[in-house]
Amino acid sequence: MLSQKSGPIGVFDSGYGGLTILKEIKKLLPNYDYLYLGDNARTPYGTRSFDIVYSFTLQAVKRLFEEGCHLVILACNTASAKALRSIQINDLPKLDPNRRVLGVIRPTVESLGEITQSNHVGILATAGTVLSNSYPLEITKLYPTIEVTSESCPMWVPLVENNEADKDGADYFVKQHINRLLNQDRLIDTIILGCTHYPILLPKIKEYTPEHINVVSQGEYVAKSLEDYLFRHPEMEQKCTKNSTSTYYTTESTDKFIESATLFLKEDITVEHIDLM
Ligand code: DGL
């Protein structure tokens, strides 16, 4: 039986990528409490099958609910693409129909209309997200005239998870995928970083992207969309505690998480190890 007491907002990712979302959420909504869960032991999700991503994501959502979260953000495009709908439709009614799980793809797509001028958009994402076709489908629903070209970057998440994002070796893979994407459509004026790990590679991504192209990180849009959601759903807003705390869970070693997460968040954090099953 899940506790009905109010609790933190849950933020889930396969690893460190969701921190790029949490950072922006905390900037915009600093008063709430957050519980971040990184499944670092089983990352990357991007190359895994639909069934596995769904089962791992459901385990994480259940755990966050058990920890008192009423609202969980899947700060992971792969999980949003492969698990969100099934969890919303099949699992939430059984687990607790009053809890909510939200993803990151829709808020990102909504932002596109005001960004692209050429109506040619590129998506860089994991193989799982690209194969799911979620971005082209969502974009066509909202903006039928936008042309979408996708490129999967299987090496980028391992670079981030292994703390190699700012090292020389990363340049080769960053340049390779940007060139491949832009060679497919010369009219692209906007690139969506459709994986929450990728903003950690942003300095290198910008280095290899022509200046006139907008590179869109999702954090800011997801944060605005969450603010709007809480405003439109006061019944949920009241169930979110507000003491400005952030708690971190990882399924891997806490030392490794602290080292990588503090580099990126630039604040001291404490982390607890948990097992998901
Ligand atoms: N950060 C995740 C995403 O946004 C998943 C990366 C992975 O585990 O492959 O897709």
Sequence-distant (≥ 6) Cβ neighbours of residue 159 within 8 angstroms: 165, 169, 170, 173, 201
User: Does residue 125 belong to any structural domain of this protein?
Assistant: yes
Based on the fold, state whether residues 16 and 44 are members of the same structural domain. yes
Nearest to 32 by CA among 274, 200, 223, 270: 223
Backbone angles phi, psi at 272, to 5 degrees: -115, 140
Mean pLDDT within 48-60 = 97
For residue 127, give every residue at least 6 positions away whose Cβ sits within 8 Å of its Cβ, in sequence order, or none. Answer: 46, 47, 152, 154
Q: Does any domain span residue 158?
A: yes
How far is the centre of ligand 1, averaged over its atoms, from the C-alpha of 18 (Å)?
8
**Distance, CA of 34 to chain centre:** 15
97 and 224 assigned to the same domain: yes
Average pLDDT over every residue of 80-93: 98
171-206 pLDDT tens trace: 999 999 999 999 999 999 999 999 999 999 999 999
Tell me what pLDDT residue 263 has: 80
**Are both 167 and 263 inside the same structural domain?**
no
Residues 207 and 229 in one domain: no
Complete DSSP assignment for 134-161: HHHHHHHHH-TT-EEEEEE-TTHHHHHH
Last residue of a domain, one of 193, 218, 243: 218
Average pLDDT over residues 235-249: 98
Residues 246 and 213 both lie in one domain? no
Which mutation among 43, 47, 160 tests ligand 1's pocket best, with the greatest number of atoms within 8 A of CB? 43
How many Å lie between the centroid of ligand 1 and the Cα of residue 234?
A: 30
- Asked whether residue 201 falls in the same domain as residue 240, the answer is no
Burial label, 97 (beta-carbon count in 10 A; 0-12, 13-18, 19+): exposed
Same domain, 97 and 232: yes
Is the distance from CB of 17 to CB of 126 less than 8 angstroms? no
| pLDDT score at 212 | 97
Alpha carbons 174 and 178: distance in angstroms, whole number: 6
pLDDT at residue number 266: 86
pLDDT tier for residue 25 given thresholds of 50, 70 and 90: very high
Percent of the chain clearing pLDDT 70 (strictly above): 100
**The ligand 1 atom nearest the CA atom of 17:** 1
- Number of domains making up the chain: 2
Please answer whether residues 192 and 120 qualify as being in contact, where contact means their C-beta atoms are separated by less than 8 angstroms: no
Residue 3 falls inside a structural domain: no
Mean pLDDT of all residues belonging to the chain: 97
DSSP symbol at 38: E
Q: Are residues 150 and 233 in the same domain?
A: no
Gyration radius of the chain over CA positions: 18
Considering the domain boundaries, does residue 2 fall inside one? no
Give percent of the chain with pLDDT exceeding 90.
95
Residues 6 or more apart whose CB falls under 8 angstroms from that of 17 comprise 75, 76, 157, 160, 195, 196, 197, 198, 200
For ligand 1, atom 9: residue with the closest CA: 46
Q: Which domain holds residue 46?
A: 9-103+220-273
8 Å CB contact between 257 and 271 = yes
pLDDT digits (tens, 9 = 90+) for 112-130: 988 999 999 999 999 999 9
* Whether residue 112 sits in one domain with residue 206: yes
Is residue 1 assigned to a domain? no
Return the active site residues.
Answer: 76, 195
Give the whole-angstrom CA distance, residue 103 versus residue 147. 23
β partners of residue 12: 37, 74
In a domain, 177, yes or no: yes
226/92 same-domain check: yes
Instruction: Give the per-residue pLDDT at 96.
Output: 97
Q: CATH number of the domain that 85 lies in?
A: 3.40.50.1860
Residue that terminates a domain, selected from 218, 245, 260: 218
Of all atoms in ligand 1, which is nearest to the CA of residue 196?
4
**Å from CA of 61 to ligand 1 middle:** 16
The preferred substitution site among 108, 126, 155 for testing ligand 1, maximizing ligand atoms within 8 Å of CB, is 126
Q: Give me the pLDDT at residue 185, please.
A: 98
Statement to judge: residues 40 and 165 lie in one domain: no
* Kind plus residue range of the DSSP H or E element containing 100: strand 100-102
User: Residues with Cβ within 6 A of ligand 1?
Assistant: 13-15, 17, 43-46, 76-78, 126, 129, 157, 195-197
User: In this predicted structure, what is the pLDDT of residue 220?
Assistant: 97
Ligand 1 centre distance from Cα of residue 21 (Å) = 12
Same domain, 116 and 168: yes
Nearest to 64 by CA among 85, 27, 91: 91
Indicate the top mutation candidate among 16, 21, 39, 78 to test ligand 1's pocket, ranked by most ligand atoms within 8 A of CB: 78
